[in-house]
Structure 1
Amino acid sequence: MLASALLGMVAGSRSLREVEQLTAELTPALRTKLGIPRRVPDTTLRDALSSLEPDGLPFGVVSLDGKATSVPAADDFFAQRQTATAEARLLGLVRTVTATLTSSTARPVIDVVPIPASTNEMGMFQRCLSALMGTYGRSDLFRLVTYDAGACSRENARAVRDLGLHYLFAVKSTQPSLHTEAARWLGSLEPDQAAATSTDLDHGRSVVRRIYLGEALAAPEGWEHLRTVLRVEVETLDSKGVRVANDNRYFVSSLPRSRLTDAEWLLVVRRHWGVETAHQLLDGALAEDAHPWIEQNPRATVVVMVLRRIAYTLLALWRGVTLRSEQQRTRPWRELMHDIWLGAVQATAQFPCGSSSRDRRLPPAPA
């Protein structure tokens, strides 16, 4: 059942009905390879997903961020109750925290934790951190944990340091003392005082990012572990070089400034935003918000969200690591997903060899 769901996700299925249609069209070779002997009815798949607990699907970032999907149902655990003003009806807000290994260019999701209806991202941070350490603590997979302002607190910062890790938290007005001091210290610095700068082209516009760094010689009470304060300025220029947008964001970190070069500090912040890119792809290519598959059972909605992140990671690793050419690695996600769908309905036990005479038979399915 889970193989059918994952195949449907990476092949671009927008509903359980489309998954059923895909499993009906699989070639014999793919049925044997994937262990899907017959068509899987959408009702059977719905019942199977609804019977699973989200915690029963563990798959074990450096960067964490929350995401919410609205469904027309609510309960007291998996979907926070809310009222949609546009439709004036009760909706459930299904929320998760996604952990993404942003030090990898593929940005694989390495963990996802549902947020109970009774709490929020701030309250879930330490639980998410514990889950990550339980899975990856011995692997030395990451040493720096980044999060936006939604989890920035003295308690969460201390929890990171107590585990021997370092943190990078965004700071907003929810932490008034930190934000005020950071803005007072770094906010008046001019572009020629930036420690590092990068420029990118985005749809005909130039996006200039500048980072300003300061070593924290003194910190507010409870933040004795704070070592570096950062300001990242994002300036957008049109094709004529006229500024059309300017934004400043502030961060605090326990990592000493000397541990990274100026350019590496800017790269860390940019990679932190990679978890937001993952969420954009979940809503774009994988259509999570528009087509959650299951809406009336919030627990099953969470199960599908976990599976969708596994599917995203498989696609991300294939696109960013397995595909060798730069052209292939920049192909649109929907094209890659269409290729998977095409392979699922056309693949045979022996792939066409083209100009090569090497045998490319599918290996047997694992016992």
Structure 2
Amino acid sequence: MFPDPLHPNEALRDEIRAEALRLGFDACGFASASDAWPNGGWLRDFVAEGFHGAMGWMEETLDRRAHPTAMWTDAKTAVVLGVNYGPEHDPLLALEDPTRAAISVYAQGDDYHEVIKKRLKALARWMHGRFGGEVKVFVDTAPLMEKPLAQRAGLGWQGKHTNLVSRQFGSWLFLGSVLTTLDLPADPPERDHCGSCRACLDICPTGAFPAPNRLDARRCISYLTIELSGPIPVEFREALGNRIYGCDDCLAVCPWNKFARLSGEMAFHARETLKGPSLADLAGLDDPLFRALFSKSPVKRIGRDRFVRNVLYAIGNSGDAALMAAVEPRLADPSPTVRGAAVWAARRLLDPAAFARLAAEAAEQAPEVQAEWTRAS
């Protein structure tokens, strides 16, 4: 759909775009909220194949995700907003030191949900006060399929890795939306510019893409380190490397990042460094220290136990026997999930004789941790 120069509300659209940019958004596009929506069918196929893994909420909200108007029948237009979070350094550099943690770029600063939501609400209030009409704001915690909506609004296209790619910002756009009852002209949709490139598919450490534009979340490191509770399947632990929260590989390798720009939003760079935090330090976090360290970060939502689990798998992948000093206290951790990860790390760091002595002294009661000792030995 292309913009209609005769549309009576074209001037309104232009005013809204200007206000969005003034509020700090880096991209703003418009799409019909009521047009046909094939993406709902694609999501049903994704769930039917079990690719959503333990994310039961995706199945529970399928009907609400089927169409933008499924949540609000009166919506006519989607105003889709983007905020650039382009990093200062190539995220793949964080993988070079296995004794330090690699944390996904999006989680290195303040929680983007809070940063964006304030701006979305400000824009929605302004729209309602200026033009009337009803408005509702959405960031990705709501069941609205924002990536295909962003493509329809011209902000970018969904690459073969299923993430949004922008000709202006590469892989680094946070998205939010304002649905409105105002009838506004749509922007031209963006077309796919991936061509024959498959860099994002080939770099995936766990082979999470069974085909272009198809993601099996059960194999995705972001899913494994963030969404999955309990032990991470053994077959994927080595592939984690030092990635303890999310994975940027498929995003970072995209050739379109050559046009990306450093984010001007300092809140997203609050913790970014070329070298990540020490795994040894992170392994020692108790719950209060974890909460204090990540009080403004999206990392806080996975909780201390899941986080330290990830850290211990990374330590096991480090090849640095000196890090055993950080592992041993976790063998007595109150959390069985943490204890199990510590057993796996110990087996990777110690020689067989040393590990056998440690196993002989273990008095583990939790079946899942006993299984780790048995498997490791």
State the TM-score, normalizing by the size of structure 1.
0.24
Structure-2-length-normalised TM-score: 0.24
Structure with the larger helix share: 2
